[in-house]
A and B are shown apart, each in its own frame.
Chain A
Amino acid sequence: MNTIQNKTSLFSLVLMTASLILMTSSIFAQDAPAPENSKKILLINAKAHIGTGKVIDKSAIGIENDKIVLVKDALAYTYKATDYDTIIDLKGKHIYPGFIAPNTTLGLTEIEAVRASVDEREVGIFNPHVRSLIAYNTDSRVTPTVRTNGVLVGQITPRGGIISGTSSIVHFDAWNWEDAVYKEDDGVHLNWPNSIEKRGWWAEPGPTKKAEKYTEKITEIEQFFDIAKAYHNQKPKDKESIDVRLEGMKKIFSGESNLYIHASLYREINDLINFKKKYNIAKVVIVGGYDSYLLAKKLNENKIAVILQRVHSLPERPEDDVNLPYKLPKILSDAQVLFCIENSGDMEQMGTRNLPFYAGTAVAYGLDYEMAVASLTLNAAKILGIDHKLGSLEVGKDATLFVSEGDALDMMTNNVIMAMIQGRTLNLDNHQKRNYEKYKEKFGLE
């Protein structure tokens, strides 16, 4: 069949439009996770941002059960309408792999100022054994407002102490954390000491100065790692007793899990590279990494990736380029450092929905568009170790993706009309939309 025929047949065979999808989704019980997909679905004609850096202007993407089974250029693909239960024409729309939010406290904290609703910071200094997964609240009211902008997966990360705990990766449409989990205990989070002390408090930062106890604090970390490594290295039969805390570190030394080191400045990053070598830790990822571009070569040599701090931030120093935080993704990309983008900081839970726009700003400041998409998708998946299942629109991967009416990285056009997690079509409603509708009705607005 030639392409022209294909096109004509397509018009007659389209069974649903995107707007119909919205209607069907409202059949589901409010806020209930979507049911499993047992159908074969074809999404046709959308501009597909593959996640690998590739883009297909008119794509054909086939989904069966929970997986992507087909990714083709629609212009060069012939199919039988009968092969699919549903065919959706997405002409003029954009399709993206589900965006991934690394280093987030979504589901751990509901309302920042209400202590009872905050579950992100355990007591203690070295807490590798503390696991975020079991506190992840699938019923948070925040998550549905994040999904609607295309963010479908997150690395739920504890905070505080020197070792905050162990994160897990979940998707955002589940009855409980067991259903939500994408990767359990994907890594341990280490807060590297600050080489520069900031005095004052959050609202009134005082002057900054060189941290006097910086090296002592590193020694403290090394002492803990010495103990943890010794524990790891002993033969199981020699083990006298189980140390719950140190068990939490085992996968770091075995190379199964990532060690996420939260660090920002030159000196810190320089030192953590040496630390990685000293303890022979296979997988180290920097979280934050404001100055990481200054050490790009070393990072590449040591295979260290960066989960880059929120792009919408103020520069660290008054002399810094006013737009440096906006330019960092482009600079890292040029230096070929593997990176993705995170959102920790003020208002971080609800602000997770702005993740796509950080990538958009990065594009404004020079980053290639598809690389920007990759920094929210495949590169994030690679860094988190879930790229075999997620992160790109490729055959065999989970059908975790979304469709936007326009460019999803621009707030002016980001309008998610359809989203899937593992093939299940999500209900894109949330309480904020409902509140809007409720009051529009009250005031008789259109």
Chain B
Amino acid sequence: MKIILTFKLIALFVLSTVAQNHFNTNGVHSKNVPHIVFTNATIHIDGDNIINNGMLIIKDNKIVYVGAKTKISDNIIEHDLKGKHIYPSFIELNSDFGITKPKDKPRSNSPQYNSSKKGAYYWNEAIKTEENAIDQYLFDDKEAEKLRKSGVGVIVSNSQDGISRGTGTLTALTDKEHNQIIEGKISSHFSFQKGNSRQAYPSSLMGSIALLRQYYYDLEYYKNNKTAVKTNLTLDAALEQTEFPKFFTVRDKLSILRAEKVAKEFNLKFHYIGNGDEYQEIKTLKENIESTLIIPLNFPKPFDVEDPFDAKYVSLADLKHWEMAPSNPYLLQKEGIQFAISTQGIEKDEDFFKNLRLAVQRGLSKSYAINALTKIPAQIIEKESILGSLEKDKLANFIITSDDIFNEGALLHENWVQGSQFIINSYDVVDVRGTYNLNVNQIIRTLKVTGTPSKPKGSLEYNIVTDSVSASGDLVIDKVTGKPIKTTKEKKVDAKINVSKDFINVSYELAEGSYRLSGNINFDSGSWDGKGQMPSGEWTDWTAIRKEKNKTDAKKSETVNDTIVSTKFNYPMMAYGWDSLPVQRPILIKNATVWTLEGEGKMQADVLVRNGKIASIAKILDVVDKTTLVIDGKDMHLTPGIIDEHSHIAISRGVNEGSHAITAEVRIGDVLNNDDVNIYRQLAGGVTAVQLLHGSANPVGGQSALIKLRWGQTPEKMKIEGADGFIKFALGENVKQSNWGDYNSIRFPQTRMGVEQVYYDAFIRAKEYEKAWQTFEIESSKKKNNAIAPKKDIQMETLVEIINSKRFISCHSYVQSEINMLMHVADSMGFKINTFTHILEGYKLADKMKTHGAGGSTFSDWWAYKYEVNDAIPYNASLMNQMDIVTAINSDDAEMGRRLNQEAAKGMKYGGMSDVQALKMVTLNPAKLLHLDDRMGSIKEGKDADLVLWTAHPLSIYAKVQYTIIDGIIYYDQSRDLQMQKEMETERTRIINKMIQEKNNGAPTQKVVGKKERTHVCTSIDEDEL
């Protein structure tokens, strides 16, 4: 650190100008504005620069001098701060201070499809860019006091509601109204939560993302065609805010990446208000984020884990987060990710400094910690010229502490806001804690004083000596002395202590009544004396002689415990997470029965895997390369990895955007969740690739994501490179809302008849949209070009992709009539239905499907769960297969997903398929349906090494998975799995013991709340969790 020493004489009065008073004054005008001078303090100009024994001078609301001691003129008020520290006060960027929380809007039973906001605003209520925090700002004394106690001086407040939340306001926490507002509109705020909007759309996280994207496209169009379009107040406001710093509030680390994708698409810069789990995706954040994170220090409390069975419900993920969370700031700093620290989200205000110190113990540098609270936030809001450090001409916002802020027990004395003094802990607070002999009326008792210096707590301890009394009530007599035997009982009584400067009050209650004492503190000896009144009403003198001072917390700061950080990372940070990601290596599987599913079906062979691909299949292979892992597959069976055409695992916050009839604009790929334990569980069932489908709540649902189950990798790395785009369509009871309750009866369509019209309308509009763009392209290429680009509509773009065979449909379907209908719609509009999924009545129109060219992905034996599946038969797959339709068996269920080999085997039971045919239904056939059969689905040289080694015939119920391999990497290994379970138990026990230790040391705890993994089926409609 560099020490600034400035020896400069300053002319204090040069700066004063005649105050431009806007106020009416009653009486004589007070014109004198004195200089306030702080001397002898350690002044932290910012995190990096310190002046020892320095001087700070302020006038009105500004700093006029910072530097070494200097000569000062008259008209000053001096504060001698010997031994004390001055820091710039903290800037809080994440707050709704002074903003009334938005009221819950009345909930109607029926869904609300249109905005309830009157006026020329954006169509969706969750987009309220036009709202300004300043318009409803009302200073809140109580909250201000709390914030000042945490060292905050300046704050950005905004209404924390909605997806586009409008502007924030920059204010100071002073009660002097005309000093409060620094800048009325300083920032724009965003999130993925729709807040108090009751409008149906969006109902899912992916819907929020789509809405935000479309909003930005609308804005772009509005900006470029200002004269041609109708005025929209929301978009006008957005244009005004173009240059504002933008804050995006997220609920977890993955949402930072999700929002960043939007930012990149529209060339925006979002600063992310995170939740403290950023360390879990730190590398990915580093690669993707250039803006600043705003992180809380709300480290979780230990759980109540004494009961081992309750403790089972605290997930390893939560245990690890408890341990790792305090290292989050350090890890971010280490990785070079810029962040500011927020004081928010901590249950008890006083814990803020405690947690800040903990973060520093874990390795965060002190200078960065200070900057993260001051300079960095000032830079983000582009106010570093007036805020964020203690320099001349900046605003006089600073705090005075008793010691280095990072030292245990350092007190925050004063928080100066815009030149106004707020006392938090008076300098005069005398630490009266200790043990005293309290002498009242010649009776001496022990008084112990604990608590905090400003709030001492007393307890009076003494012994009572009484005669022993037997159970029968008789006195117990000592046989030798003949006198009653005396017994001693320890008593403890609370004593109330009030200290005000050197004046002290002590009161307590004994059996005979209450004692009330009043006196003075003798600072030199630490003893007290005075007068008091006894229960009898008599007055008496009293003294309290200090025997010993409060033992200052001798606990030294823990040494930096970096090992927690370096050794205990898991990918993902939860049950069955890897210590380090598995790597690719050559693998030779010998002597297994190889189900190639090519011409020969199955054969005895050895399979060599190299560079993630199947290198060769032959009888005997000698491997020279020593790095090759050789697996003896004797009596085992090697099959291609299982591919699930229809899955809903690994999806965050909503599998359905179940609001509108058409939601082609939403993308499952935006909301992948790599923390879903079902990924690992399905690997254990031999699944290697899945199509993650949108739900079936609407005729046109969202876009699918095709992923491989690369457990431990980030969402983007799970996606299958270069895969074709797919989309979910749906028919029948779900889209006509048959089972949604009596109130969901207003959305079009409510009948199968309406579904047809939804499709025709949509695709006719899509064609018109495409034509408009084509016309524009032609016009704009002409020399005299004044063509106006049509508005980009991400929903229409998706439908155009379908028409142009760039996106393919997987349609949830049951009943033959509507399946027939959709094929007619498709034929007449010039596209194909790639796959009918579920397709339980496929057996009734297999000929028509064949003609159309659709495949079928069905359940083995589900039926009778609703009216439209009453005619479903388990022979469906067999019949479709016999009709040469590409037929797959899918799960749509996290449990069944791990037994798809068994479900395929039912094809042999119901309809007599061969075993090769049956196995193809969960491997090669779904690969074909997903256009992945050129690289997956069979064991063939050059294809991806996605393989499963089974302990028995793969279709037998007795088959268990020994290895699941994806891209030549072993992602599941049965023996490693058992070892991992043991390691997890050890790791859990280690952390649990640590928690119990902390609890025993007096840390407050929290009740057991476990993580329950989410499972989806395609009818899941969920808004509560959004």
Contact = CB atoms under 8 A, between A and B. Distances in A.
Q: Do A and B come from one complex?
A: yes
A159 interface: no
Contacts, number: 186
A301 interface: no
B958 A436 contact: no
Interface in A18-47: none
Contact of B864 (A110, A204, A413): A110
Contacts of A196: 313, 1010
Interface stretch (A176-184, A206-214, A228-236): A206-214
A122 interface: no
Interface of B: 309-310, 312-313, 315-317, 574-576, 677-678, 680-681, 684, 733, 738-739, 843-844, 846-847, 861-867, 870-871, 873-875, 878-879, 882-883, 893-896, 898-899, 902, 905-906, 908-909, 911, 915, 952-953, 955-960, 977, 981, 984, 988, 1007-1017, 1019-1022, 1024-1025
A323 interface: yes
Nearest to A361: B957
Interface of A: 110-114, 141-142, 196, 198, 200-201, 203-210, 265-267, 291, 312-315, 317-319, 321-323, 346-347, 349-350, 353-354, 357, 360-361, 363-365, 409-415, 432-433, 435-436, 439-440, 443, 445-446
B842 to A, nearest CB: 10
Nearest 9 interchain pairs by C-beta: A203-B1020, A113-B866, A360-B957, A436-B875, A208-B1010, A432-B873, A318-B575, A318-B677, A410-B957
A439 B312 CA distance: 52
A364 B1022 contact: no
Contacts of B952: 364
Nearest to B307: A267
B861 A353 contact: yes
27 contacts: A111-B867, A112-B865, A113-B733, A201-B1022, A203-B1017, A205-B1013, A207-B1009, A208-B1011, A209-B1007, A209-B1009, A291-B309, A318-B574, A319-B315, A319-B988, A350-B864, A357-B957, A364-B959, A409-B957, A412-B905, A412-B908, A414-B909, A432-B863, A436-B875, A436-B878, A439-B843, A445-B879, A445-B882
Contacts of B988: 319
B958 A364 contact: yes
A203 B844 contact: no
Contacts of B865: 111-113, 347, 350
Given A410-B957, A412-B908, 10 more contacts: A203-B1016, A208-B1011, A210-B1007, A322-B680, A322-B898, A347-B865, A357-B957, A433-B875, A435-B871, A445-B883
Contact of B958 (A312, A346, A360): A360
Contacts of A432: 863, 873-875
State the majority secondary structure of interface residues on B. loop
A196 B312 CA distance: 11
Nearest to B865: A112
A196 B313 CA distance: 9
Nearest to A434: B873
A209 B953 contact: no
Nearest to B955: A412
Contacts of A267: 309-310
Contacts of B1010: 196, 207-209, 317
B1012 A314 contact: no
A411 B909 contact: yes
A266 B733 contact: no
Given A410-B958, A412-B905, A204 B867 contact: no
B315 A318 contact: yes
B862 A436 contact: no
A312 B899 contact: yes
Nearest to B1017: A203
A266 B1019 CA distance: 32
- B576, B861, B911, B1017, most chain A CB atoms within 10 A: B861
A205 B1015 contact: yes
- B843, B953, B1016, most chain A CB atoms within 10 A: B843
Nearest to B875: A436
A112 B313 contact: no
B865 to A, nearest CB: 5
A113 B988 CA distance: 42
A410 B915 CA distance: 13
A205 B1012 contact: yes
Contact of B1008 (A209, A435, A436): A209
Contacts of A315: 681
A266 B577 CA distance: 26
Contacts of A321: 981
Contact of B1022 (A203, A208, A350, A365): A203
B733 to A, nearest CB: 7
A446 to B, nearest CB: 8
A350 B1020 CA distance: 21
A309 to B, nearest CB: 12
A203 B1021 contact: yes
Contacts of B309: 265-267, 291
A210 B303 CA distance: 12
Given A114-B867, A207-B1009, A353-B861, A317 B315 contact: yes
B376 to A, nearest CB: 33
A9 B1024 CA distance: 74
Contacts of A446: 882
Contact of A443 (B883, B905, B977): B883
Nearest to A325: B895
A319 B988 CA distance: 10
Given A314-B681, A364-B960, A200 B1008 contact: no
Nearest to A117: B867
Contact of B843 (A209, A363, A436): A436
A443 B885 CA distance: 13
A363 B1021 CA distance: 37
A323 B972 CA distance: 13
Contacts of B843: 435-436, 439
A266 B575 CA distance: 21
- B575, B680, B957, B1011, most chain A CB atoms within 10 A: B957
B709 to A, nearest CB: 13
Given A207-B1011, A210-B1008, A440-B879, A111 B866 contact: yes
A446 B912 CA distance: 11
Nearest to B959: A364
A206 B863 contact: no
A112 B684 contact: no
